[in-house]
Structure 1
Amino acid sequence: MTPYRQELEKYRDIDEDKILQELSPEELAQLDAELAEMDPENVLLPAGLRQRDQTHKSPTGPLDREALLQHLERQAMEAEERQDLVPFTGEKKGKPFVPKEVAPALPREEQVTLEPELEEALANATDAEMCDIAAILGMYTLMSNKQYYDAICSGNICNTEGINRRPCPQTLGDPVSPHVPCPQDIPVPTLEAICRAIHTNTHVRSLSLVATRSNDQVANAVAEMLEQNRSLQSLNLESNFITSAGMMRVLGAIEQCPSLRELRVDNQCQRLGDTVETAMAATLERCPSLLRLGYTFTLQGPRARAAAALTRNNELRECPQGHQGHQVSPRATKGHLGGIWGPRFDPPS
């Protein structure tokens, strides 16, 4: 047994209660002070009791709070103010506030005064006569709906040609780019009908079916449209539910649409797979007219092939005669991979 343990054996049988009873009041106070120093923060005591009483003197007199406050206030009033180190010279700094000028109110529109005969005629005119005047002047909002239908049903209108005339349809001179509004509310049969309507349409240049919940049925309809259409230049099928089978159907039909310049099929619900990416690269190699592709490849091989094919297609389009008879170097440029890497394709006018 070590000497330290031997010393501890002496204090094992000591009676602490007996020792505390034999201590005097002064010794107990000293013990209390030493125990307080062992825990200086007194975390278990309230804030008002954490500091022990260190004053052993008796109070000299009763505390009068009101008298103390009056004494402090009187002392503060009688004390001299401290002189400023730098005297005040009266110099004004800054610019004076000038309110902004309010713009003058716009003049009211001049009231049009009519001849007394016309004012009397308009005041005494019936609904049918007012409807005739509105038809002649082309002011279809001059009357309310109730007045309009009452005048039509009365049969006293002299000239109904201006009221019942149909607007002349405007001729679509420039190619249109249909964009499907409210895509989440359109059912699949309606999307298929839209694709069937573009089979032989020669005015549509761009078709966007983004986030329309299109599935493989719509992809088959798009493929049938690409097989017959010869004027479409941009097709966007991003953010849909097209699987690898539907995408393969679309890629197979792209070869039969020589007018297509841009294709965007990124962000589908499920991963298209390695076979589809390889087919995309092969389609770009077989279709020199395709200049933009919006898709994020996951494999390095198809990505390099697609970049080389897009570079070749764009160079052939810019200089078709200079590249005849030799092969283009497969240098990949990010601007040709579409998506977020390059600008959108603008159809040539």
Structure 2
Amino acid sequence: MTTKLYGKDIKEYDEIDIDDLLSKLTPEELEQLSNEVDPDDSLLPPSQRCKDQTTKAPTGPLNRKKLLEYLEKRAKEQEDWPENKPYEGGIKRGKVWTPKEKSRTQEDEDLEVELDLDDDYEQALIGASEAELVDLAASNLSQIHNISKEKFKRLFEGLKTNTNLEILSLANTELTDGPVEILLQALELNKNLKSLNVESNYLTPQTIRDLVKALLPTQSVLELRTANQSPQVLGNKIEMEISKLVEMNDTLLRIGIFFEIADARIRVAAKLQENNDAIRVKRVGAQ
């Protein structure tokens, strides 16, 4: 079916020279055409989409100081808007916001039960040997807030020679950089630890980088979680250093670190995928 416009086949208009056609229009016809043009047409240049249609002659160059003085003078001359309710000092208007009371949940009750055990853990920590501290670490040190730096150091000293502990979780225990210096030494010696969780503590970005680096000598840890520290931002330099260290680790399968740099995040994800694929290939080959 042929489409016609003004009695002509629409394909014939493709051969018409638009510039030649516009040159034959009068100023009045050009003005009428510009008013009919769609201003939201993205194919038109901005100068034509935002055509100035003001007929008033310009009053002169913009004087910012005079404009501000005029606006200030105009604002002072205008009367205040009438209020439905006159202002009275010391009286609050509208509804006063009050927070909703939180209902007790099973999670809150479980948390209270767990916190009630702190005294028992404190008694267990007093006088415990390095081996006993390591054994205690395997059962539930996370969320315990009264562990001193000395006890952390004794725990990490015992970890250097321990051959039984495979999972060490120290999340939200107010762990700082000081005791971690001994943990770094233990990680370089211990070949049996498979999972380390130090999330939600007070470790600096440099310490987190050193933790990743300490995994390289033995390459036995499969999972490392260090997210939600205070401060939380690692910085571009530290993130790139961590990504390079992860690329040197052929054993690490999971890592809990938030990367803001896309390059570091992609590198780490690719290396972890490579390590997981290697484990899968070995498992399939063994079958």
Relative contact order: is structure 1 or structure 2 higher (C-alpha 8 Å, sep ≥ 6)?
A: 2
TM-score by length of 1: 0.40
Determine which structure has more spread, i.e. the larger CA radius of gyration. 1
TM-score by length of 2: 0.49
More helix by share: 2
